[in-house]
Amino acid sequence: MEAHPRLHQRRRNGASLGSAAVLALLATCLPAMVVAQDPSGAPSAPPVAAEATPGPAFPTTLAGADLDVQTYSGEQWLAQFQDGAADNEALAADTEALLESLGKGVDDLTVTSALAEPTPGTQAVVLALQVEGAEARDFATEAVKLLLGDVNEPGFALRPMGSRWVLRVVDAAVPGVYPRTVYLEGDTAWIIGADEGYVIELLEQLPAQSYSQSTGDAVLAGQLPVVLDGRRRTGLYEAREPLFLPGLELRTGPALDAWLLDLYLEDGLTPTDLVGAIAWWGVDSSEESVEVEGYQVPDGSPELVESLRSGVFLGDGQALPDEVSRTDQELGGRQVTTFDFGYSKQHVFSSGDTVWVVTDHAGEPAMAEEAIASLP
């Protein structure tokens, strides 16, 4: 049976599979390059990696062993799929179409790969796609979809791994499992299939991300009022790191995940660039107070901030529960969207590079309006 470097599952023998083996089945596999047959039936030499092609940066070791790294020019890579088989020919054609959509050609593509077995029965594979002069963010997701022959419904989620932000490929048919990890930097996308510890070891050998990252001191808390209705605030919290994201995700659901993915792919920003701050005025807890939250994308464009307000906090396009009402109104001199939950009211608006959420848990509408008016 012909073997080619498309990413697919590997056949395995044995009566049962442990957790590591199950993960290995979900990991990508790069079999040996196809060995063609000449008319006499004798195998001809397999394609040889192009020595003149330096290729992208690539890991060199895993679990204490050297990796067998192979680099192919775009022409050599696509030649493996131009064999007359309908699926392979379609893959080659789709790859060329993707390159064309970037204003690039086959000569701009370089592919580097390595397959390893760090422990008996455990696979690890790395594939790097480099398109000279293109941003990996512009081609990675479509390229990965082309290559994933064993993932039924691939999707992507932005997640931290070690010190890096990566795209974790998700499969709607196997919830909670991440068959691949995709790391992007410059003109290269690295696709990794391995157990998580090996993924982190491989990532640490790749170039650090150079996408825009805010490094200045967080200043959003300084924009929050100190006194409302003559009462000093009783709590304040601010974070530049994505410490506030889990709680926010519980409230906003998958809309936040989708927005963060767009933030990364479209603007090259990660959640580390975001600033979150919260203050409240209440005796016992924030749940019995007037609460002010701010979520800032430092120097974010108006379109980016609006997508955060409307897509994440307003849930545009999503139906509201029957017991919740929504009203667009002027309050505190601003145009706000108000959600009435019956037991509290939440007012959402944006200003500059920040989305503000003022929640009245305590039944203090004048105090909430004063908070809205006091924000930048």
Q: Is residue 348 a contact partner of residue 313, using CB atoms and an 8 Å limit?
A: yes
Q: How confident is the model at residue 49 (pLDDT cuts 50, 70, 90)?
A: very low
Q: Does the pTM exceed 0.75? A: yes
Instruction: Please give the mean pLDDT across all residues of the chain.
Output: 82
Residue 191: beta bridge partners?
127, 182
* Residue 20: per-residue pLDDT: 31
Tell me the domain boundaries of the chain: 19-203, 220-374
* Residue 356: per-residue pLDDT: 97
| Window from 30-34, 206-210, 280-284, 346-350 with minimum mean pLDDT | 30-34
pLDDT in tens, 50-104: 444 578 999 999 999 999 999 999 999 999 888 899 988 999 999 999 999 999 9
Establish how many alpha carbons lie within 13 A of residue 136's alpha carbon, considering only the half-sphere containing its beta carbon. 23
Torsion of CA 336, 340, 345, 350, to 10 degrees: -20
Q: Give me the CATH topology for the region 220-374.
A: Protein Transport Mog1p; Chain A (3.40.1000)
CA distance linking residue 10 with residue 370, whole number of Å: 63
Torsion of CA 212, 215, 216, 217, to 10 degrees: 130
